[in-house]
Amino acid sequence: MVGMAGIAAFFVVGLAVSIRLLGVWHKTRRMPELLAGLGLLGIGPLGFCVLMAGISFFRGTPLAHTIGVAAVGIQDLGFVASVLFTWLVFRPSTRWAQVLAFGISIALALTFAALVSMPPAHGPSLQFHADVGLKILSLGWGALEALRYWRVARQRVAIGFADPLVSASFLAWGVALASGALGFLIIYVAVLSLEPGQALGNGVQLLLSLCGIVTAIGLYLSLLPPKSYARHLAESARQVAAG
Amino acid sequence: MISPVFEWVAQELGATTGLGRPVCRGVVRSALELALFQPEAVSPAQMKMVIERLLADGIRRAGVPEPEQVCARLASALDSQHFETRTPESPDEIFDRLIRR
């Protein structure tokens, strides 16, 4: 129960933001909104729903593994969309970024194929290490790119060449992805230290909950910013420009 | 790879003012740098802001009279320009659309 608050916040905000992004895509038919919407939906609400359904209703049954595999597959698709978004938005003309985005996508497909073809493991398998590592890399790369861009964007805001709300969105997006990456890292370390069948401790659940809350706040401020927040940023930018 | 927007503006500046190619590229590059944009990644919307607000000083320093009029013509011509090589959207333009649509 300790971890539920953050996970629930992430679920609700993730669902709202992904539905909004797919709504934007429905109007514009542009690739970034489609990738961001599918990425968030797959990594968050959809993948999470399937995973929780497996844990809640099918634990200990033969179906549990199949549902777990389905959840990982949905999440993997979300991560593929996420790395393609990072490449397309922040480094569309950079060759190494294109290679990295497609490399991660192919590697995720291979780890998923390994998961499907292998019998359920009793401890962390090579596939598990690779899968979690790729997910941390995907989110970490996206966070670094967003925060790197925010550093320049906020300087442009100060000289009147960028929008303060958009600039702040890069920061919030970067923080959300960094918190997500940290959450996966915590899960990874926790799983490695657990005995087979042992549940996550309260401390780990609390950390995961905090990551979920930070990610939810980051997503909310980044892509569903409230008007009062936008006004505050605009006023701050005016004061900086005047002073 | 240099943005086609940068190439077009530098070329158009040369055609309008008679300044040499290296000077025009230097003037446009300096104006972009002042706004923290890069010639490789600048979008038409960002270039228009730079033309309207920063380019005139550089043109004046290069000895061209009435630089404001040159900039106004450049900005207007940029609006109607369609680039054959598609310029990628800037992250600002993408996030602006994601937030405000």
Nearest Cβ partner for B98 among A33, A149, A160: A33
B2/A contact by beta carbon, under 8 A: no
Nearest Cβ partner for B95 among A28, A160, A169: A169
Nearest Cβ partner for B1 among A93, A159, A167: A93
Tell me whether residues B89 and A173 touch, CB distance under 8 A: no
Looking at residue A48, its pLDDT comes to 79
Q: Using the structure block, give the residue that is written with the tokens 């542009």.
A: A30
* CA A6, chain centre distance (Å): 14
Distance CA A51, CA B4 (A): 47
Confidence class for position A144, pLDDT limits 50, 70, 90: very high
DSSP class per residue in B24-51 = HHHHHHHHHHHTT--TTT--HHHHHHHH
B25/chain A closest Cα distance in angstroms? 21
pLDDT tens sequence across A44-55? 989 877 887 777
Nearest to A217 by CA among A167, A177, A165, A161: A177
* Lowest-pLDDT choice from A19-33, A190-204, B8-22, B62-76: A190-204
Q: Which residue of B has its CA nearest to A20?
A: B98
A161/chain B closest Cα distance in angstroms? 7
A151/chain B closest Cα distance in angstroms? 11
Provide, rounded to the nearest whole percent, the portion of chain B with pLDDT above 70. Answer: 97
B97/chain A closest Cα distance in angstroms? 8
| Contact partners, residue B84, CB within 8 Å, separation at least 6 | B4
B88/A contact by beta carbon, under 8 A: yes
> In chain A, what residues touch B86 (CB-CB under 8 Å)?
none
Looking at residue A3, its pLDDT comes to 65
Taking residues B11-17, report their average pLDDT.
95
A161/B contact by beta carbon, under 8 A: yes
Residue A4 predicted with pLDDT over 80: no
Highest mean pLDDT among A126-130, A175-179, A235-239: A175-179
Q: What's the token pair of residue B20?
A: 């040499």
Residue A126 predicted with pLDDT over 70: yes
Residue A63 predicted with pLDDT over 90: no
Confidence class for position A189, pLDDT limits 50, 70, 90: very high
> In chain B, what residues touch A225 (CB-CB under 8 Å)?
99
Distance CA A210, CA A6 (A): 6
Confidence class for position B85, pLDDT limits 50, 70, 90: low
Q: Which residue of B has its CA nearest to A166?
A: B96
B44/chain A closest Cα distance in angstroms? 14
Highest mean pLDDT among A20-24, A68-72, A92-96, B85-89: A20-24
From the CB of residue B88, how many other CB atoms can be counted at a distance below 10 Å? 15
> In chain A, what residues touch B37 (CB-CB under 8 Å)?
161
A225/B contact by beta carbon, under 8 A: yes
Q: What's the token pair of residue B77?
A: 């011509």
Taking residues B18-42, report their average pLDDT.
94
Taking residues A42-70, report their average pLDDT.
83
Residue B6 predicted with pLDDT over 80: yes
**Longest Cα pair distance anywhere in chain B, in angstroms?**
44
Distance CA B58, CA B35 (A): 13
The ipTM, to two decimals, is 0.91
